[in-house]
Amino acid sequence: MIPCPKRVWPQPIPARAIGNKAMFSVMSELDCFNVTKAVAPDGHDILDDDLSVSRDYIIVKITPDVGTMVGMDDEVVLTVDKHMPGASPQ
């Protein structure tokens, strides 16, 4: 794997992160992006939570939008929920 600073920047926000577990994505396909917050429906940032609490959240939106070219230091904010919009809660 190419170290983050040696990658070609800017890079597009990856669509494959939508619908994935937030904490997994932050450590995988979003690992080189500057994810500053992951906001839950109640407004709190799950990045501040213990992993046992935050592990069930999935990414429902990324700001800037998927496909937007961003630099390695540009702020990326995730909107997360326990289920995808329109899906039945489990």
Instruction: Give dist(CA 55, CA 53) in Å, integer.
Output: 6
pLDDT at 88 over 70: no
Instruction: Give a yes or no: residue 86 inside a domain.
Output: no
Instruction: Give a yes or no: residue 28 inside a domain.
Output: yes
- The reported pLDDT for the residue numbered 56 is 86
Instruction: Give a yes or no: residue 11 inside a domain.
Output: no
Instruction: Give a yes or no: residue 65 inside a domain.
Output: yes
Instruction: Give a yes or no: residue 66 inside a domain.
Output: yes
Instruction: Give a yes or no: residue 31 inside a domain.
Output: yes
Report the predicted TM-score, pTM, of the whole model to 2 decimal places. 0.86
When comparing pLDDT for 4 and 54, which is higher? Answer: 4
Neighbours of 90 (CB within 10 A): 6
pLDDT at 23 over 90: no
* Burial tier of 78 (Cβ tally within 10 Å: 0-12, 13-18, 19+): buried
Averaged pLDDT for residues 64-89? 87
Report whether the peptide linkage leading into residue 10 is cis, meaning its omega lies within 30 degrees of zero.
yes
- The reported pLDDT for the residue numbered 27 is 84
Sheet holding 58-63, edge to edge: 34-39, 75-81, 58-63
Asked if 57 and 19 touch (Cβ cutoff 8 Å), the reply is no
Q: Using one digit for the tens of pLDDT, what is the confidence trace for 25-71?
A: 888 899 999 999 999 999 999 999 887 777 789 999 999 999 999 99
- Domain range for 70 is 17-81
Instruction: Give a yes or no: residue 67 inside a domain.
Output: yes
Number of structural domains (the chain) is 1
